[in-house]
Amino acid sequence: MAILEILEFPDTRLRTIAKPVEEVTDAHRKLIDDMFETMYDCPGIGLAATQVNVHEQIIVMDISEDRSEPHVFINPKVTVLDGEPEKMQEGCLSVPGFYEDVERIEHCKIEALDRNGQPYELEARGLLAVCIQHEMDHLNGKLFVDYLSTTKRDRIRKKLEKQHRLAAKHA
């Protein structure tokens, strides 16, 4: 397994819309394993393939404290079931160090393929539902900062660009 490089905002590759996986292969399973290792290393609770510059519809997720509930979603489709939009603070491995309130529905159903290409459904509430919607946005070229005001988004972009320049200078 390997730790993959995570693209950071405002990298334009994060805006690429992911394509469906035609057939789940051993290469996809290796990518999934690497994505889990990368996500756990950060540490994070969700990672979309887009964030590691692979533009296919693959998401890994584990919202448990002890890394005991790994989920794989390939070609996911989300259906909102009910509930009012609720604000929850979100962060993102592609927007490191920033946390902001985002409104999302807290009850949804997801249909996807598992790591072996088998279809399944999952009903999600609370943090799991929010995380699924957050990662689905990545597959559609959208980031949580897109839900913020232009002023907040620009402030975050400028701070991250400065960090990237400083890191490049010291590399």
pLDDT tens column, 46-82? 999 999 999 999 999 999 999 999 999 999 999 987 7
pLDDT tens column, 72-102? 999 999 998 777 788 999 999 999 999 999 9
| Residue 2 covered by a domain | no
| Residue 6 covered by a domain | no
- Structure tokens that stand for 69 in this block: 């509930």
> Which residue positions form the known binding site?
92, 134, 138
pLDDT tens column, 104-159? 998 999 999 999 999 999 999 999 999 999 999 999 999 999 999 999 999 999 99
Question: DSSP letters of the chain?
Answer: --PPPPP-TT-GGGGPPPBPPSS--HHHHHHHHHHHHHHHHTT-SEEEGGGGT--BSEEEE--STTS---EEEEEEEEEE-S--EEEEEEEETTEEEEEEEEEEESEEEEEEE-TTS-EEEEEEEHHHHHHHHHHHHHHTT--GGGGS-HHHHHHHHHHHHHHHHHHHHT-
| Residue 7 covered by a domain | no
Domain that holds residue 132: 12-170
Number of folded domains that form the chain: 1
CATH code, domain with 27: 3.90.45.10
| Residue 76 covered by a domain | yes
CB proximity list for 7: less than 8 A, separation 6 or greater = 13, 14, 50, 51, 52, 53, 94
Catalytic residue numbers? 135
| Residue 19 covered by a domain | yes
> Which residue positions form the known binding site for Fe cation?
92, 134, 138
| Residue 152 covered by a domain | yes
| Residue 29 covered by a domain | yes
| Residue 118 covered by a domain | yes
